[in-house]
Structure 1
Amino acid sequence: MAANLGVVTGMHLAEHCKAEYSRVPNFILWVIAEIAIVACDIPEVIGTAFALNMLFNIPVWVGVLLTGFSTLILLALQQYGVRKLEFFIAFLVFTIAGCFMAELGYAKPVAKEVVAGLFVPKLQGHGATGLAISLLGAMVMPHNLFLHSALVLSRKIPRSVRGIKEACRFYMIESAFALTVAFLINISVISVSGAVCNSSNLSVEDQNSCQDLDLNKASFLLRNVLGKWSSKLFAIALLASGQSSTITGTYAGQYVMQGFLDLRLKSWIRNLLTRCLAIVPSLIVALIGGSAGAGELIIIASMILSFELPFALIPLLKFTSSKIKMGEHVNSISISAVTWIIGSLIMGINIYYLLTSFVKLLLHVHLKIVTKVFLGILGFSGVALYMGGIAYLVFRKNKKTTHILAFRTLEEQQVANEQGDISIYSLPREDIVSMQLPQKRSPAEID
C-alpha cells in the first residue's frame, strides 16, 4: 500500500500527511515519527554493542559508545557504492539465516507443533502480551511505511495507466518476496530456539542461557552447525544487520523531515543526531543493568514502535482507500476490509496492554492512596489522549484531492500542460533521488 501510494500520486506518506492535516496534528505526527526512528535505532545500537562484545570482548557500555563511530565509518564506506555495501550486508545476514535453517536439521522441531504455533494464537506465561507487542513493533516498524512510499519515487515509472498498474503489481511481488524470506527466517530462528531450549541433553551453561535468552547469548543455538565459530559468525551478522538498519533509518529520517517540515539535513548529520539520541538511554541502561538491562531496553523500544504504528498505519489506510487520492487505483473493498480488521486488532491489543498493565501497576505498587489516585488520573488521561488521537485519524474525512500521475485521456494531459502542472508528474523525483546516501563520483561525472 505504501508503494502504491507513492507510485500513483507521486507523493510519499509524509507529504500526504502535511497536505491533508492542519499544523498541530502534523507537528504531532512528525514528533511521533521521529521518536519511532530513535526507538528503532536503540536496538541497532545495543545489537552492535553486543556484536562488538562477542567479537572483541568489549564491555557493552563501551560498545554503545563506539556505535557512534560505526555510523561515521558506514557513511564513509557508502561513497564507494551504497548498493555494493547493502549487498555485502545482505550476504552476511543471509549467511546467518542459512545457518539457522541448517540448524533446523539438527534441532528437529516437531512439525505439528510448528504449524500449530503458526496458526493458533497463544499468549502464555508472564509478559507474553508485552513480548507479542514488541515483536509486532520490531517487524512492522512505522517509519518503514514512510520510507517505502518515498523510495519508489526514486525509480523510473511510466506515466500511463498501464505503466502504473504494472509498477504497482511488480512492487507487490517484490514486497511479497521480501516478506516471505523474512517470514522463513523468523520461523527458523523461533523453531530452533524452541527446539534447542527444550532439548533434554543441554549443558548447564546452555540451560542457564535459555532461561534468560537475549542477543548476547543466542549464538550457542548455532553450535551444532558452526562449532566454536558460532559466536563469531553470529556477531558479524548481528553487526551487519544493525548497520543495514542504520541505512534504513537514515533514509526514513530524511524523508520524514522533508515531508513534514520541508527540511533536509546532510545524511551524516541526520544519522549522527539520531544515533546520539539513541545512545543516551542505551548507555545509561548498559551501565546500570548490563547486558540483561540492555536486552530489556530492546523489548521496550520495540513496544514503543508498536504503540506508534497506528499513527502511520491509519493515514496510509485512509489515503489508499480514498477515491479522491488514488482514483481508479483505490483499494478494493475486500483489501480495505482485511487491512482495517488487521489495523483494528493492532490498535486493540495496544490499548488492552496499556490499560491492563497500568491497572496492575496501580494495584501492586506500594504507594500512598493519594499518590495512586494522582498517578491513575495521569495515566488514564494519557491513555485517553492516545485513544483520542487514534479516533481523530480514523474518523476524520479526507479533504485534499491528489492529482493522479496517470492521465486517462489526451485531453487531460493537454489541460495539465496548459496549466503548467506537468512538472509534478515527473518520475523519478529529483529531490528524492538527490536525498539518497552519497555515491562515489567518477571523474567523468565531476567534469
Structure 2
Amino acid sequence: MFQKPRWRKFLSYVGPGFLVSMAYIDPGSMETDLQTGANYTFELLWVILIGFTFALIIQSLAANLGVSTGKHLSELCKFEYPKYVKYCLWLLAEFAVICADIPEVIGTAFALNILFHLPLWIGVLITGLSTLLLLGLQRYGVQKLEMLISVLILVMAACFFGEMNYVKPPVAAVVKGLFVPRLSGQGAIGSAIALWGSIIVPHNLFLYSALVLSRKVPRSVRAINDACQFHLIGSGFALVVAFLINVAIISVTGTICSANNMSDDIANQCNNLNLDSAPFLLKNVLGRSSSIIYAIALLASGQSASITATYSGQFIMEGFLDLKMRLWIRNLLTRCIAIAPSLTVTIIGGSKGAAQLIIITTMVLAFELPFALIPLLKFSNSNPKMGPHKNSIYIMVIAWILGVALTGFNLYYLITAFVGWLIHSKLPKIANVFIGIIVFPLMLIYVLAILYLTFRKDTAVTFTEPITLDQPMAQNNVEQGLSNSYEVVEADHIPYSEDLVDIPLPE
C-alpha cells in the first residue's frame, strides 16, 4: 500500500497556522507596534519575544486539544461548565471577537483615507460593505483569496525589512531590548499590556482548536501524535514570520523617531504617530509610492484579520450554542456592532481618538484572555479530555507560569491605574466614591471568576479510545486513514470539519 512521505503529510497541515497568524499582523498589532517604537524605541521588544513564545505554546495546546479530542475549545466548554458559566464564557468570547474587529474597522478606514482621502467616519461606514465583498469573493476559493492577502501583507513586511536595512537600527540596543526586561513608568506597563493583547488574542484559541479539525486525522495514537507535531511545526514557522515583522516595525519606528538629527517635521509626525501617518517611515525605500503601497497592505491586513474574526465567531457560536449562521450574516452582525464605537470615536476624536481606541481594545483583549486560556490549560492536562495525549508536565508548568504572570501583571495594572485615576481625578469626591463602589466590586468579580475557572474540578469525559486492530496491515491502514476489508466501521468516522480551502463559503 502506497504511503505518503512525511513532508507531503506536513504540507497538508500548514494552512491553519498561517490563517491564524494573520491576527498577529493586523491593524491592531501594527498600531501598538508603531506606538511602542515611537514612545519607547527598543525597550519593550522583550514583550514581543515573550508574547510570541507564549503564543506558540498555547497555540500548540489548542491544536493538540482539537486533534486529540475531535472537538474544539468552545464545544468542550459547553460540555464541561454549568449553563450559566457556559453563557458567560460565550458572551466574553463574542465580546473578544468584537474587540478584535474594531481595529480592523479603523485600520480599513485609515487605508481608505490614505488612498481616496475619505473622512474617517465615512471609511468606517464603508468597512461594513468591504468585508462582505471580500467574503463574496471566496466563491473563487478561500485558499486563493488568503494567498493574495498574504502576498500583500508580505509586501509590506518586505518594505519594513528593507527600511530596517536602510536605517540600520543599533544591533546592541535591539538585542538588549529583546532579552533585558525594562518598564519605564506606568505608561510602559499599559503599552506592554496592549502589546500582549495584540499578540495573544482569546478568539484565536477557539479558532485554531477548530481549524485543525479541517484535516482528517485517523483515531490512532501514532496518527494523532504526528498531526500534533505537524501543526506545531507549521504554527511555529508562521509565528516566527509574524514575530520578525513585528520586530521590524518596532525597530524601524524606534530608530527613525529617536534619531538625533531628525527634522522638526519628522519629530512632529513621531509625536502624533498612528496608522494613517505611518507611511513616512517607508519613504527611504518606497519614495513617493510609500503611501499607496502601505495603504493597500493595511487594507489587506484589515480584511484578512476580519475574515479570521468571522470564522472565530462562527466556531464560538456553534460550539457554545449549537447555532449555525451564514458567514455573511455572521460577519455583518459582528461588523455592525464594531462599527458603532468606531464611528462614535472617529467623529468625536478624529484619527488620534481612533488610534487610542485601537490601543484600548487590545488592552481589553489582554484582560479577557484568562477566560479562554484557563479552560485550555486545564483541558490540555486533563485525562478525561486528552487521555494519553495530555501534554507534557514541563510544557504545562511553563504555560501556567506565563499565564499566571500575565494575569497578575494585568491585575496589578488594572488596580494601580484605577486607584491612581481616583487620586488624581478632578471629579467631586462624592462622584469618586460612587465610581469606586461600582468598579471595585466588578474587579472582585473578575478575580473570583478567574479563581473559579482555575480551581474548579473538571468532570466531563470527552476522550474516546483510539482504534487498535489485531491485524498489522489493518492497523497500518488505520494509521494512514485508509479503508479496506480489515478495517472496522468506526475507523471511517474520523471527526473533522469541512476543509476551508475546498469550499466556497464555509458554514
TM-score by length of 1: 0.93
User: C-alpha separation between the residues in 1 aligned to 2:342 and 2:502?
Assistant: 26
Check if 1:374 corresponds to 2:374: no
C-alpha distance 428-92 of structure 1, shift in aligned 2 (>3 A): farther
User: C-alpha separation between the residues in 1 aligned to 2:317 and 2:309?
Assistant: 12
Check if 1:130 corresponds to 2:190: yes
Match of 2:260 in 1: 200
Check if 1:426 corresponds to 2:493: yes
Superposed CA offset, 1:265-290 (max 9, x none): 11000000000000000000000000
- Kept in 2: contact 1:48–1:239 (CA 8 A): yes
- Kept in 1: contact 2:101–2:306 (CA 8 A): yes
C-alpha distance 318-298 of structure 1, shift in aligned 2 (>3 A): same
Question: What pairs with 1:265-414 in structure 2 (closer than 5 Å)?
Answer: 265-404=325-464, 406-408=466-468
Task: Give the letter for the 1:295 counterpart.
Answer: A
- Kept in 2: contact 1:10–1:405 (CA 8 A): no
Report how many aligned residue pairs link the two structures. Answer: 431
Superposed CA offset, 1:73-111 (max 9, x none): 111111111110000000000111011111111111111
User: C-alpha separation between the residues in 1 aligned to 2:501 and 2:349?
Assistant: 38
Check if 1:166 corresponds to 2:223: no
C-alpha distance 367-237 of structure 1, shift in aligned 2 (>3 A): same
| Percent of pairs with identical residues | 55
Task: Give the letter for the 2:362 counterpart.
Answer: S
Superposed CA offset, 1:40-64 (max 9, x none): 0000000000000111111111100
Match of 1:14 in 2: 74
C-alpha distance 361-425 of structure 1, shift in aligned 2 (>3 A): farther
Task: Give the letter for the 2:247 counterpart.
Answer: I
Match of 1:189 in 2: 249
SS of the equivalent of 2:143 reads helix
- Kept in 1: contact 2:194–2:363 (CA 8 A): yes
> 1:148: how far off?
0.3
Check if 1:39 corresponds to 2:39: no
Task: Give the letter for the 2:128 counterpart.
Answer: G
> 1:438: how far off?
5.5
Superposed CA offset, 1:232-279 (max 9, x none): 111100000111111101110110000000001110000000000000
Superposed CA offset, 1:206-231 (max 9, x none): 11111121111111111110001111
Match of 1:2 in 2: 62
User: C-alpha separation between the residues in 2 aligned to 1:389 and 1:436?
Assistant: 38
C-alpha distance 53-422 of structure 1, shift in aligned 2 (>3 A): farther
Match of 1:101 in 2: 161
Match of 1:444 in 2: none
User: C-alpha separation between the residues in 2 aligned to 1:189 and 1:121?
Assistant: 19
Superposed CA offset, 1:276-325 (max 9, x none): 00000000000000000000000011111111000000000000011221
C-alpha distance 330-48 of structure 1, shift in aligned 2 (>3 A): same
SS of the equivalent of 1:121 reads coil
Task: Give the letter for the 2:73 counterpart.
Answer: L
Superposed CA offset, 1:111-138 (max 9, x none): 1110110111122255221111111111
- Kept in 1: contact 2:206–2:312 (CA 8 A): yes
Task: Give the letter for the 1:211 counterpart.
Answer: N
C-alpha distance 355-408 of structure 1, shift in aligned 2 (>3 A): farther
C-alpha distance 324-161 of structure 1, shift in aligned 2 (>3 A): same
- Kept in 2: contact 1:405–1:425 (CA 8 A): no
User: C-alpha separation between the residues in 1 aligned to 2:281 and 2:504?
Assistant: 38
> 1:362: how far off?
0.9
User: C-alpha separation between the residues in 1 aligned to 2:428 and 2:294?
Assistant: 48
TM-score by length of 2: 0.82
User: C-alpha separation between the residues in 2 aligned to 1:395 and 1:425?
Assistant: 38
The one of 205, 209, 213 aligned to 1:145: 205
Match of 2:303 in 1: 243
Superposed CA offset, 1:12-56 (max 9, x none): 000000000000000000000000000000000000000001111
SS of the equivalent of 1:201 reads coil
> 1:422: how far off?
7.3
- Kept in 1: contact 2:101–2:338 (CA 8 A): yes
Q: Which moved more, 1:236-245 or 1:69-78?
A: 69-78
| Structure 1 residue ranges (4+ consecutive) displaced by more than 4 angstroms after TM superposition | 408-411, 421-425, 434-438
- Kept in 2: contact 1:159–1:425 (CA 8 A): no
User: C-alpha separation between the residues in 2 aligned to 1:239 and 1:428?
Assistant: 36
SS of the equivalent of 1:433 reads coil
SS of the equivalent of 2:459 reads coil
Check if 1:226 corresponds to 2:226: no
Unaligned runs of 5+ in 2: 1-60, 476-487
Unaligned runs of 5+ in 1: 414-420, 442-447
Match of 1:260 in 2: 320
- Kept in 1: contact 2:314–2:327 (CA 8 A): yes
C-alpha distance 192-259 of structure 1, shift in aligned 2 (>3 A): same
C-alpha distance 434-199 of structure 1, shift in aligned 2 (>3 A): closer
Q: Which moved more, 1:360-369 or 1:347-356?
A: 360-369
User: C-alpha separation between the residues in 2 aligned to 1:295 and 1:57?
Assistant: 17
- Kept in 2: contact 1:153–1:427 (CA 8 A): no
User: C-alpha separation between the residues in 1 aligned to 2:403 and 2:505?
Assistant: 42
